[in-house]
Amino acid sequence: TINFPLGTDYLNRPMQKVDWEDGKAAVTEYEILDVSHGRTRVHFFPHTGRTHQLRVHAAHPLGLDLPIVGDDIYGQREERLCLHAGYLQVEHPVIKERMTFVVDDPSSTFLLIFVQLQDS
């Protein structure tokens, strides 16, 4: 479990930062699915929904210290951001009905992929 508070980094917007004094609770459970070819595939289970929560929890040294592939804010730009939802539940803004979207076989998709950046 990754558990540290997050707040806006006002000097580096849109970045978020670990903020022990004024930050809001941010809790994420995770499971390592696979490590191969210099990349680690991880399944995150966020308990809170802070801005950039998964991205910060992945990249920060107090978290996994593994930026998400393609994350140009907390890591390095790639062709695409490799951050994908396997399950999403929201309330429709007009009809107020709960809507759920699920990936049938999460193991066959790239849920989350991380790469450890090498020192240049």
Domain containing 109 — which CATH number?
3.30.2350.10
**DSSP type of residue 117:** P
Looking at residue 101, its pLDDT comes to 83
Q: Provide the pLDDT confidence category of residue 17 given band limits of 50, 70 and 90.
A: very high
Asked whether residue 120 is domain-assigned, the answer is no
Looking at residue 116, its pLDDT comes to 41
Asked whether residue 107 is domain-assigned, the answer is yes
What's the structural domain count of the chain? 1
The answer to whether 50 touches 26, Cβ cutoff 8 Å, is: yes
**What integer is the mean pLDDT of 51-79?**
92
Q: How many CB atoms lie within 10 A of CB 33?
A: 15
Across the chain, what does the average pLDDT equal?
A: 85
Q: Which residues constitute the domain of residue 103? A: 2-115
pTM comes to 0.77
Does position 27 have pLDDT exceeding 70, yes or no? yes
List of residues 6+ apart from 44 with CB closer than 8 A: 28, 29, 30, 54, 57, 58, 111, 112
Does position 114 have pLDDT exceeding 50, yes or no? no
Looking at residue 106, its pLDDT comes to 56
